[in-house]
Amino acid sequence: MTRKAKKIVVVDVGNTSTASGVWSNGRVAHVSHCDGGFEECVRRGVPDCKGADAMAYVSVVPSEDRKWRQFAAKAGLKFHRISHLDFEGARGAALGIRLDYPKPQTIGADRLADAAGAVSRYGAPVIVMDFGTALTAAVVTGDGVWRGGVIAPGFPLMRDYLFERTAKLPRMEIGRGRAPKIGRSTEEAMRFGALVGYRGMVREIVGELKRNFREDFSLVATGGFARWALKDSGIPFAIDPTLTLHGAGLICSRFT
């Protein structure tokens, strides 16, 4: 039987920011968020590797991979990159998830970590949505099978597209504030469209998935914009900010 790591550094490299923390016994602590990638994290002195056995690595930015692998080696950490291989055969059985997907190697590591974390904490069937640069959804049915998912533009992409493709619209601040009753300025009109329109998209995605699979899914949300997007929406999501890091640590603990 392989030795389970007692303390695991967890790193989630996204398109606009990097999250890191320490996973131990199913809990994530010392969470830090850095705008940018490896260089900014190192400048800030994160992650904390003291006493750790391994690094669980999630990334959607291939150019960052070598830097983090070398960092782990210098820190004396076993490096475990989350991938579809963690869900094959006996490994998938240990996690309670089996992939039903034509090209599993194309599934983003963040979506796999989200699914593992969601099933661990909330059970299956579950729909987990990650509100980041893109909005992604992963579906795990009650039999523990990862069926696929959804990818849609996230808040940053929608905001930047409006700014870059129009002559007069400003670059709207996102992540704070509520939707007004009606837009009475350009900024308010954009905020209404972003929040209310986005919630409508989320409702429609959830509704369509429920109709397609006819299961009573738990709804779980994570990602930097989840709390802002879903506040006052009435959509019954459990918001779990450390879900991706937890899923990464959980997977690594089984196989390190």
Q: Which residues does the annotation mark as catalytic?
A: 110
Please report, for residues 14, 55, 96, 164, 227, the alpha-carbon distance to residue 35 in angstroms, rounded to integers and kept in the order given.
Answer: 10, 20, 34, 21, 19
Beta strand 126-131 with 134-140 is: antiparallel
- Distance, in Å, from the CA atom of 224 to the CA atom of 135, rounded to the nearest integer, reads 11
Beta bridge partners of 18: 13, 34
The residue with tokens 């705008």 is 35
Task: Provide the sign of the torsion angle of the four alpha carbons 166, 169, 175, 181, taken in this order.
Answer: negative
- Distance, in Å, from the CA atom of 142 to the CA atom of 84, rounded to the nearest integer, reads 20
